[in-house]
Amino acid sequence: MNFKHFALTTVATFGLLNVMAQKNKTIVVNTSKVTAQVQPEMWGVFFEDINMGADGGIYAELIKNRSFEFYKPLMGWTTQGSKMKEGDFLVLNRQESHANNPRFLRVNSTAAKRGDLGMVNEGFRGIGVKKGLKYDFSVLYRQAAAGVKLHVELIDSTGRVLGSGTLNPETAGNQWTSQSVSFTANETVEKAKFNLWFEGAGKIDLDMISLFPGDTWKNRKGGLRGDMVQMLADMKPGFVRFPGGCIVEGHDLSVRYQWKKTIGPVESRELIVNRWNSEFAHRPAPDYYQTFGLGFYEYFQLSEDIGAAPLPILNCGMACQFNTGEVVPLEDLDPYIQDALDLIEFANGDSNTPWGKVRTDMGHPAPFNLTMLGVGNENWGPQYLERLALFTKAIKSKYPEIKLVNSSGTDPDGERFDLLNTSLRKMKADIIDEHYYRSPEWFLSNANRYDNYDRNGSKVFAGEYAAQSVAIAKPTNKNNWECAISEAAFLTGLERNAGVVHMASYAPLFAQADGWQWTPDMIWVDNLNIYGTPNYYVQKLYSLNKGTDVVSILGDNKIISGQDSIYASAVIDRKTNEVIIKVINASSVEKSRNVVVKGAKKLAANGTLTLLQNQNLKAENSFENAINISPKEQPLAVKGNNVSLSLAPYSFSVVRIGMK
Ligand code: AHR
């Protein structure tokens, strides 16, 4: 026998042995061995106004700097017109009498016709316009004598008019008045602009110059972008965490998130700078502000709309420790604690309570059923523990039923984490918020992170997680399949340990293609389009297949967490009477497994297999190929209590089988 023949024979023999060995591999699911309950809230979403997620994103306002409150009052606006002269536009500031919305614009017009005097707004990285869609323009104005007409129009980059309307303001005794006009667009354009032309002689004051598309979520006036909310609703998330994230803390305390300033009439919500405005020198966003058109009332409403539990996170008296790290002296913490108590009343109090009445007056007499509240975002150190103790005492003595979410800092390990995790567990914290922005390898090798956590101690909220293809906050990070499949593998460990891990959410949630600061992100949008990343589909598959009870799933009598690059978890759903098995093959070769389901009297003859798969770990979704990596469902034959699974390379399989 020559060497070549020997080599071929050996390879063939090993190949055969390998196939035989593969054939013999068995996964045993025991549906009568329940190891934990799955919380209804388990798989949720983390919302933060980062990457133009709110203003310029889900908050559907199309006019940037509508009330002239940005640092530069005319940012986003350009004045124009063949008859424009010095003094035609004046920014007035009434700080003393209108602290929340001090500025407005005075226009002195002598314009005889459209084109003589006007302004153009560039929108948030342009304005998305859809053919056939209605656009609703509104404005707050004041004029002593009738005289100035407003022509509003959307235009493309060549100046072609895509839709227009005219508004004849009345005098209304020189009082601030709101008026609106709607018009329909005749073309689809991704980056349009908005023109406001003046016609007639006179002086008119303007504020809150606003344009909304007609297809907002539930057709609410001044509402949210329908397609973005739909993507969330499709996930059936268990909770919505809001409003962040570092935005809760603010760069310094003066620009921390204060929920009371985000409710009531939109024109009275005091705008502040967005803390992501100047965070990254490589992605500057000087025009990034928070108008709070999406405020706490709308966050609660959004959660309710999509059947998710609201999870607000409040500032704990500390600014972002990556920035100034300002802290409120302990003796001055009361107003912060009062904000927390008042928020609970705002959400749950009846209409006879002061804050319950505010909610009722805003249009929601029924409570929002708040059950959880976060104190602090990524805060750490003894300063956090001191402040948290005061919050906890006050909240628990008035509202013992509210579960408090506490921070474990910025990382899932290290000194900050160890101090907080140990102290919070001693304090018997309800829920500890852990964050992991780590490499795909970390996610794979930490799939068993919670296997030995104390079942009777504090619960865990995996509050922010995302595999980073390069490194944390690097602009070159990608939402590629390698990251998503490593997350899928890691999530088997969260599901298996649902008795410890009560909730999980990917972060950040949204990114605007031209306006982002941080990547990777779960859902990407431009002015017209949207797509879910592979990471979105992973989270969605877990959420849609969460079941009610975790059950035993073993290979060679051991939990399946990385042996032979396979990761698995299983649940049953008592409502639909199904067993749901999730298996990840994180290797480049196909693997076969014989799945034996014990515990059920009988299994249905057919199940379904939902497959998320790609051979290329670098593959991504994109605006052009939005569902490149997306779930595909197929029937699956069940023989008795056996299922034969061929696990494709780099695949995430979800099997559902009815039980009798
Ligand atoms: O998700 C982006 C940021 O990451 C969050 O604002 C913060 O909590 C974390 O550092």
| CA–CA gap between residue 152 and residue 431 (Å, rounded) | 51
Does residue 97 belong to any structural domain of this protein?
yes
Ligand 1 pocket check for 244: Cβ under 6 Å:
yes
Ligand 1 pocket check for 518: Cβ under 6 Å:
yes
SS3 43: strand
Residue nearest ligand 1's atom 2 by CA: 508
Mean pLDDT over residues 142-171, rounded? 94
Does residue 509 belong to any structural domain of this protein?
yes
In testing the pocket of ligand 1, which one of 49, 435, 535 has its CB within 8 Å of the most ligand atoms? 435
CA distances from 412 to 435, 484, 492 (A): 6, 19, 18
Using the predicted structure, report yes or no on whether residue 165 has a pLDDT greater than 50: yes
Which residue, chain included where needed, has tokens 């499709």?
Answer: 234
Determine the pLDDT at residue 80: 97
| CA–CA gap between residue 223 and residue 580 (Å, rounded) | 37
Which residue, chain included where needed, has tokens 């739909």?
Answer: 230
- Do 33 and 154 share a structural domain? no
Residue nearest ligand 1's atom 5 by CA: 245
Residue 466 tokens read as 């995302």
- Do 231 and 181 share a structural domain? no
Which atom of ligand 1 lies at the shortest distance from residue 437's CA? Answer: 4
Least confident segment among 32-46, 168-182, 343-357, 508-522: 168-182
Residue 15 buriedness (CB in 10 A; 0-12 / 13-18 / 19+): exposed
Which atom of ligand 1 lies at the shortest distance from residue 378's CA? Answer: 8
Does residue 70 belong to any structural domain of this protein?
no
Residues linked to residue 532 through DSSP beta bridges, in sequence order:
523
CA distances from 225 to 12, 40, 185, 281, 526 (A): 58, 26, 17, 29, 12
Percent of the chain residues past pLDDT 90, beyond the cut: 94
Residue nearest ligand 1's atom 4 by CA: 245
Contact predicate 512/125, CB 8 Å: yes
Contact predicate 550/35, CB 8 Å: yes
| CA–CA gap between residue 150 and residue 357 (Å, rounded) | 38
50 CA from centroid of ligand 1 (Å): 9
Contact predicate 474/431, CB 8 Å: no
Domain closes at, from 524, 546, 568? 546
Q: Which of 597, 655, 641, 584 is nearest to 30 (CA)?
A: 597
Q: What pLDDT, in 10s, does the model give residues 596-627?
A: 999 999 999 999 999 999 999 999 999 999 99
Mean pLDDT over residues 464-484, rounded? 98
Amino acid at 275: R
247 CA from centroid of ligand 1 (Å): 8
658 CA from centroid of ligand 1 (Å): 40
- Do 297 and 276 share a structural domain? yes
Cβ neighbours around 272 below 10 Å, total:
20
462 CA from centroid of ligand 1 (Å): 13
Does residue 67 belong to any structural domain of this protein?
no
Domain closes at, from 546, 565, 597? 546
Does residue 72 belong to any structural domain of this protein?
no
Using the predicted structure, report yes or no on whether residue 284 has a pLDDT greater than 90: yes
Does residue 94 belong to any structural domain of this protein?
yes
- Do 482 and 422 share a structural domain? yes
Calculate the dihedral angle through the C-alpha atoms of 493, 498, 500, 505, rounding to the nearest 10 degrees.
80
- Do 435 and 577 share a structural domain? no
- Do 530 and 479 share a structural domain? yes
At 71, which helix (H) or strand (E)? Answer: none
Ligand 1 pocket check for 69: Cβ under 6 Å:
no
CA distances from 565 to 22, 242, 560, 585 (A): 13, 36, 9, 6
Amino acid at 450: Y
Whole-number mean pLDDT of the chain?
A: 95
Q: What pLDDT, in 10s, does the model give residues 65-108?
A: 999 999 999 999 999 999 999 999 999 999 989 999 999 999 99
| CA–CA gap between residue 24 and residue 592 (Å, rounded) | 9
Which residue blocks in 261-380 are alpha helix, DSSP H? 296-305, 334-348, 354-361
Percent of the chain residues past pLDDT 70, beyond the cut: 96
Q: What pLDDT, in 10s, does the model give residues 399-428?
A: 999 999 999 999 999 999 999 999 999 999
Determine the pLDDT at residue 91: 98
Ligand 1 pocket check for 246: Cβ under 6 Å:
yes
Determine the pLDDT at residue 24: 59
Mean pLDDT over residues 526-548, rounded? 98
| CA–CA gap between residue 325 and residue 435 (Å, rounded) | 19
Identify the band that residue 171 occupies on the pLDDT scale cut at 50, 70 and 90: confident
| CA–CA gap between residue 660 and residue 657 (Å, rounded) | 10
For the chain, how many structural domains are there in total?
3
SS3 251: coil
Residue 523 buriedness (CB in 10 A; 0-12 / 13-18 / 19+): buried
Identify the band that residue 145 occupies on the pLDDT scale cut at 50, 70 and 90: confident
- Do 441 and 306 share a structural domain? yes
Catalytic residue numbers, as ranges: 378
Determine the pLDDT at residue 236: 98
Which atom of ligand 1 lies at the shortest distance from residue 48's CA? Answer: 6
436 CA from centroid of ligand 1 (Å): 10
Does residue 65 belong to any structural domain of this protein?
no
Mean pLDDT over residues 496-514, rounded? 98
SS3 422: helix
In testing the pocket of ligand 1, which one of 283, 437, 465, 479 has its CB within 8 Å of the most ligand atoms? 437
Residue 181 tokens read as 């006009």
Mean pLDDT over residues 245-261, rounded? 97
Q: What pLDDT, in 10s, does the model give residues 323-354?
A: 999 999 999 999 999 999 999 999 999 999 99
- Do 195 and 233 share a structural domain? no
552 CA from centroid of ligand 1 (Å): 34
Which atom of ligand 1 lies at the shortest distance from residue 410's CA? Answer: 10
Mean pLDDT over residues 15-43, rounded? 80
| CA–CA gap between residue 6 and residue 75 (Å, rounded) | 76
Ligand 1 pocket check for 507: Cβ under 6 Å:
yes
Counted residue by residue, the chain has a size of 660
Ligand 1 pocket check for 276: Cβ under 6 Å:
no
Mean pLDDT over residues 383-405, rounded? 98
Q: Which of 29, 15, 25, 19 is nearest to 564 (CA)?
A: 25
In testing the pocket of ligand 1, which one of 320, 464, 506 has its CB within 8 Å of the most ligand atoms? 464
Does residue 71 belong to any structural domain of this protein?
no
Give the count of alpha carbons within 13 A of 381, CB side only. Answer: 11
521 CA from centroid of ligand 1 (Å): 11
Contact predicate 163/151, CB 8 Å: no
Residue 542 tokens read as 């877990």
246 CA from centroid of ligand 1 (Å): 5
Residue nearest ligand 1's atom 8 by CA: 245
Which atom of ligand 1 lies at the shortest distance from residue 245's CA? Answer: 6
CA distances from 76 to 92, 94, 125, 283, 286 (A): 17, 21, 10, 18, 11
Mean pLDDT over residues 236-258, rounded? 97
Q: Which of 66, 54, 56, 61 is nearest to 213 (CA)?
A: 61
CATH value at residue 422 = 3.20.20.80
- Do 579 and 542 share a structural domain? no
**Angle in degrees, CA 63, 64, 69, rounded to 5:** 125
Ligand 1 pocket check for 377: Cβ under 6 Å:
yes
Mean pLDDT over residues 290-312, rounded? 98
Domain closes at, from 178, 213, 248? 213
CA distances from 494 to 211, 438, 469, 572 (A): 43, 16, 21, 15
Q: Which residues contact 193 (CB under 8 A, 6 or more apart)?
A: 120, 121, 122, 123, 126, 127, 154, 155, 157
Q: What pLDDT, in 10s, does the model give residues 542-593?
A: 999 999 999 999 999 999 999 999 999 999 999 999 999 999 999 999 999 9
Q: Indicate the pairing of strand 431-438 with strand 459-467.
A: parallel
CATH value at residue 196 = 2.60.120.260
Ligand 1 pocket check for 245: Cβ under 6 Å:
yes
Ligand 1 pocket check for 55: Cβ under 6 Å:
no
Single pTM value for the model: 0.95
Using the predicted structure, report yes or no on whether residue 5 has a pLDDT greater than 60: no
SS3 318: strand
In DSSP notation, 109-123 reads EEE-STTSEEEEE-B
- Do 51 and 29 share a structural domain? no
Using the predicted structure, report yes or no on whether residue 9 has a pLDDT greater than 80: no
| CA–CA gap between residue 533 and residue 158 (Å, rounded) | 34
Ligand 1 pocket check for 53: Cβ under 6 Å:
no
Ligand 1 pocket check for 511: Cβ under 6 Å:
no
Cα 451 to chain centroid distance, Å, stands at 28
Identify the band that residue 21 occupies on the pLDDT scale cut at 50, 70 and 90: very low
| CA–CA gap between residue 222 and residue 602 (Å, rounded) | 53
Dmax over CA atoms of the chain, in Å, equals: 107
- Do 564 and 577 share a structural domain? yes
The C-alpha R_g of the chain, in whole angstroms, comes to 28
The beta strand positions in 345-447, using DSSP E, are: 372-375, 403-407, 431-438
- Do 558 and 461 share a structural domain? no
Contact predicate 110/81, CB 8 Å: no
In testing the pocket of ligand 1, which one of 518, 519, 522, 523 has its CB within 8 Å of the most ligand atoms? 518
The beta strand positions in 177-308, using DSSP E, are: 177-184, 189-213, 239-242, 272-273, 289-290
Cα 269 to chain centroid distance, Å, stands at 22
In testing the pocket of ligand 1, which one of 378, 436, 509 has its CB within 8 Å of the most ligand atoms? 378
465 CA from centroid of ligand 1 (Å): 9
Ligand 1 pocket check for 508: Cβ under 6 Å:
yes
Domain residues for 372?
Answer: 45-60+217-546
| CA–CA gap between residue 406 and residue 505 (Å, rounded) | 15
Least confident segment among 9-23, 118-132, 390-404: 9-23
Which atom of ligand 1 lies at the shortest distance from residue 46's CA? Answer: 1
